[in-house]
Structure 1
């Protein structure tokens, strides 16, 4: 059995790992690599023949894990894609959104020109449709025989609805070996989502390391932080709170937290707008798979109703409605995407409010270096929107209480579920090297053998 780390090697994006058995090739995740300078051109090439892949296993729907599946299909892959039911539904939404983004970028580059001159889309709607036809869904904790040699079990890990650790049992040469891929590990007590569940004993573990060496804030709850921010922005003063949020996962958690705050009467009523069509569709997926949400969410639904619908909340549908939000002059909360401010309707709201002294922009997620969100967080006094240089008069705040990733302690605890005498090797992926090193040191202190693979590195298991 041979393992090759093909993506998210000493970086966060582009998750893709190849497990090769005799005459059988398994690809775990097929994500877009956002850290390439020539993004669309570079992501269309694979270091293997796509037609030689027999099956793909998808840990969860986020685009850095799923986003290059249509390219794989377009270039010759014709096998099955195995995932949990919510992952399949959310992946379809995200892939369709990617097509829209590709085409939008191409049109933007071609504006005013006779022929399209922007980067060619990696894939089109047809390729997304072809990809979704290959999905086979498997429920959590149900062993699925891929072939006579390999069986698969999905273990819930929080992070996102449907997100799973992949546990593979491989019979090769008369011996049995087990290898697990954590995907992205969530955190305990996260709104809506279940806690990560223990991964059974394996021989090899491929673990994410996004928050290695980093620790989430303690001493306050998400509800307390939101109450404090809303009170300062919308109650004491007639201002507006703008929250950039990823449409899938983060928005649903935030809406549920706000629902509880206003249902319990912790604040006077404040109008809330969710301005993201993708978030609206994703919320319907959360409703469809409601039985997979956590106990707190289930109890709320049984006693108080829909977690994602309440009196103060309005889902904004079309562009006309979105523009009308800018003309709403009462205190309000606007939740919109994209979370890093790179495109999407959030830019309209920023344009009209970045110079508003009574506006607060609350970041609830990570912003990659160089993004507009990152520039605001680092304190840039002037930003460029719609080809205009605008002074930043709005208040900029950030909290990590809605981060969907487990922190250093959570990652260590995940690995410590494994007996170090039986776990032969740990491979750290999906993290910057600066995050991997403290996690590696901590795990080695507990007796684990830890590897930090470089891209393309091959391991004989």
Structure 2
């Protein structure tokens, strides 16, 4: 076997790993890299020929794992894309949303270049390419071995993180010898709202694992509900202001809405109006309802006793752009949940534009913000930010909490590796993390006696 890391090498985004078994080529994930100096077109530069890939394995729907699939198809890939059923449905929604984002940016670029030589970036792919991609999805359930060919077997193991998210575990017969390798995708955490805990992976010879929170521990002294109650009480009850929560439409929003449902239905706070301003969040919540049998037992019990965990009094899903703009005219205390989580586009930018200079507004970040994004600039304390062609002073209160992070922390990552048989596991490859996070995790694992590699992009490793 030969392994080449083509994406998320010493950075977080752009997951893409090539596994070669003889002449058979398997691509694990094909995500958008949005850390390439903001040049989206750089995602066309595959270091392999797309037409030579035999099959793609998709661990989960998030755009840094799925977002470059239509480019792969557009440039010649003709094989199947294997994933779980929820991943197929959620990925379709995310990819179509990406097309809309590309088109808006292209239109904006053309307007700025009006009357000049037009160098506006063209969309990376179009709706046609997304639909061509969706047609290639073949879905496989969890813990059901699937034979890709006569010598390669794939099993999806649930890892939490997102509905349908899976580790891809391969058993390979090569030259009469059985070998095994697992790709974790993104690893979730225990006791996370809506989602089941990650399952233990079977023993393997090689492990390719994410390292997002290497060297960092999540807050342990507060539950999700306690942290939210504390912030809402100050922002909306005592100060009678508004709380804006940027949240990814798929996964984070559903966990947040469920947590708010538990808070308000239990009377922990007086009623506060909650707006979910993201059509994508509304549609993806429908996917969570469709696969309700995959949510965790707590959420299923809540549904049995109190009804839909994604609906409650004073909760409003905002659909039209007109209604979204009316939210700005709602002057009572309220909570606004909107996408995108890193503030790079979406309706959240409108809410920021009208509220960033509001002393009675709190902006609560509940997820990771990549370097270079507006979210990252706000979190590092920039006093002035650029929003919708204007430079605006930041008067709103900026807060962050990790209680709703869907990634396992340093201890979770270490424990994932320690569940492996040390005598069998030959090497651990670290991907999907900043260099400092990878090094901290590598140091911890080396100290436990594991062989660890931090791959460079495009470097190949022979797996004997």
TM superposition score normalised by structure 2: 0.97
Residue 40 of structure 2 aligns with which residue? 40
Deviations 1:29-54 (A, max 9, x none): 11111111262221112111111111
- Secondary structure (helix, strand or coil) at the match of 2:413 reads helix
Ranges of 4+ aligned residues in structure 1 off by more than 3 Å: 114-117
| Cα 1:101/1:217, change in 2 over 3 Å | same
Deviations 1:242-284 (A, max 9, x none): 1111111110110000000001011111100000011111101
Residue 111 of structure 2 aligns with which residue? 111
- Secondary structure (helix, strand or coil) at the match of 1:435 reads helix
Deviations 1:150-186 (A, max 9, x none): 0100000011111000000101111111110000001
Tell me, yes or no, if the aligned pair for 1:440 and 1:450 is still in contact at 8 Å. yes
Structure 2, unaligned stretches of length 5 or more? none
Which of 177, 180, 186 is 2:182 aligned to? Answer: 180
- Secondary structure (helix, strand or coil) at the match of 2:217 reads coil
Which of 339, 346, 362 is 1:337 aligned to? Answer: 339
* Counterpart check, 1:447 vs 2:449: yes
Tell me, yes or no, if the aligned pair for 1:233 and 1:359 is still in contact at 8 Å. yes
- Secondary structure (helix, strand or coil) at the match of 1:402 reads coil
Residue 172 of structure 2 aligns with which residue? 170
- Secondary structure (helix, strand or coil) at the match of 2:149 reads coil
Tell me, yes or no, if the aligned pair for 1:259 and 1:308 is still in contact at 8 Å. yes
Measured in 2, the distance between the counterparts of 1:388 and 1:45 equals: 33
Residue 159 of structure 1 aligns with which residue? 161
Which of 214, 222, 236 is 1:234 aligned to? Answer: 236
- Secondary structure (helix, strand or coil) at the match of 1:252 reads helix
Residue 226 of structure 2 aligns with which residue? 224
Tell me, yes or no, if the aligned pair for 1:160 and 1:249 is still in contact at 8 Å. yes
The aligned runs of 1:130-209 (5 Å cut-off) are: 130-209=132-211
Tell me, yes or no, if the aligned pair for 1:106 and 1:116 is still in contact at 8 Å. no
Deviations 1:163-211 (A, max 9, x none): 0000001011111111100000011111001111100001111111111
The aligned runs of 1:397-416 (5 Å cut-off) are: 397-416=399-418
Measured in 1, the distance between the counterparts of 2:374 and 2:439 equals: 29
Residue 278 of structure 1 aligns with which residue? 280
Measured in 1, the distance between the counterparts of 2:13 and 2:41 equals: 16
Tell me, yes or no, if the aligned pair for 1:233 and 1:241 is still in contact at 8 Å. yes
| Cα 1:288/1:52, change in 2 over 3 Å | same
Residue 65 of structure 2 aligns with which residue? 65
Measured in 1, the distance between the counterparts of 2:123 and 2:388 equals: 24
Measured in 2, the distance between the counterparts of 1:185 and 1:258 equals: 24
Deviations 1:338-371 (A, max 9, x none): 1111211111111211222211111111122232
The aligned runs of 1:270-349 (5 Å cut-off) are: 270-349=272-351
Measured in 1, the distance between the counterparts of 2:211 and 2:382 equals: 30
The aligned runs of 1:248-263 (5 Å cut-off) are: 248-263=250-265
Residue 55 of structure 2 aligns with which residue? 55
Deviations 1:383-413 (A, max 9, x none): 2333333222211111011111100000000
Measured in 2, the distance between the counterparts of 1:340 and 1:243 equals: 11
- Secondary structure (helix, strand or coil) at the match of 1:88 reads helix
Shift in Å at residue 381 of structure 1?
2.1
Residue 102 of structure 2 aligns with which residue? 102
Shift in Å at residue 308 of structure 1?
0.4
Residue 244 of structure 1 aligns with which residue? 246
Shift in Å at residue 452 of structure 1?
0.8
Q: Between Structure 1 and Structure 2, how many residues are aligned?
A: 461
Tell me, yes or no, if the aligned pair for 2:34 and 2:40 is still in contact at 8 Å. no
Q: What's the C-alpha RMSD, in Å, of the aligned pairs? A: 1.2
Residue 126 of structure 2 aligns with which residue? 124
Structure 1, unaligned stretches of length 5 or more? none
The aligned runs of 1:417-432 (5 Å cut-off) are: 417-432=419-434
Measured in 2, the distance between the counterparts of 1:420 and 1:102 equals: 46
TM superposition score normalised by structure 1: 0.98
**Stretch of structure 1 that moved more, 346-355 or 140-149:** 346-355
Residue 78 of structure 1 aligns with which residue? 78
Tell me, yes or no, if the aligned pair for 1:106 and 1:117 is still in contact at 8 Å. no
Measured in 2, the distance between the counterparts of 1:89 and 1:325 equals: 29
* Counterpart check, 1:28 vs 2:6: no
- Secondary structure (helix, strand or coil) at the match of 2:98 reads helix
Tell me, yes or no, if the aligned pair for 1:11 and 1:431 is still in contact at 8 Å. yes
* Counterpart check, 1:215 vs 2:206: no
Measured in 1, the distance between the counterparts of 2:435 and 2:338 equals: 32
